[in-house]
Amino acid sequence: MSAPKEVDVLGFTYTVQFVSSDESGGDKLGWCDFTNLQIYITEGQPKSGLANTFLHEVIHAVNYSMGITSGKEEQLTNRLANGFCAVWKENPAAFKWWSDLLQEKPKRKVPRRAAVKKKPRRRNPRSRK
């Protein structure tokens, strides 16, 4: 499966770009540009590093969109990304189930059938009283 080119975060569409370590300044694995709605991921990381960095930057975007700006936001983001990546890796079936729940299209309610009017029964003319 190829990496996403975009990710929607609470009504904002972020473009995901993969950059060289030179473009990142050599010391960043990724960063989130809230002004231009860009998520940058440094290439060359192992798969587990890419997964963690991607989730880390998405969490930054969620925090920003929700106004979470405490001084410990970076520490919280690191812990959440590390924790969720570990739980996800150890429980892929649970996250597949969870993802399927969110992707499931709501079942269309089938309208009740209109009451079927029964035809009046024909009476035997001899049975009239």
Q: What is the CATH number of the domain that holds 39?
A: 3.30.2010
| Domain ranges, residue 18 | 6-93
pLDDT at 127 over 80: no
CA distance 68 to 82: 19
The answer to the question of residue 110 being in a domain is no
Distances (CA, A) of 12 to 5, 73, 91, 103: 14, 20, 29, 19
* 41 has a pLDDT exceeding 60: yes
Asked if pLDDT for residue 117 goes beyond 80, the answer is no
Is residue 7 within 8 A of residue 13, CB to CB? The reply is yes
Residue 24 placed within a domain: yes
- Domain-embedded: residue 45: yes
Tokens 């269309």 found at: 108
The count of residues in the chain is: 129
Would you say residue 121 lies in a domain?
no
Model confidence, pTM: 0.76
Number of domains in the chain: 1
Structural domain includes residue 100:
no
In a domain, 106, yes or no: no
DSSP reduced 3-state for 14: strand
Whether 104 maps to a domain, the answer reads no
Selected residue with higher pLDDT from 104 and 119: 104
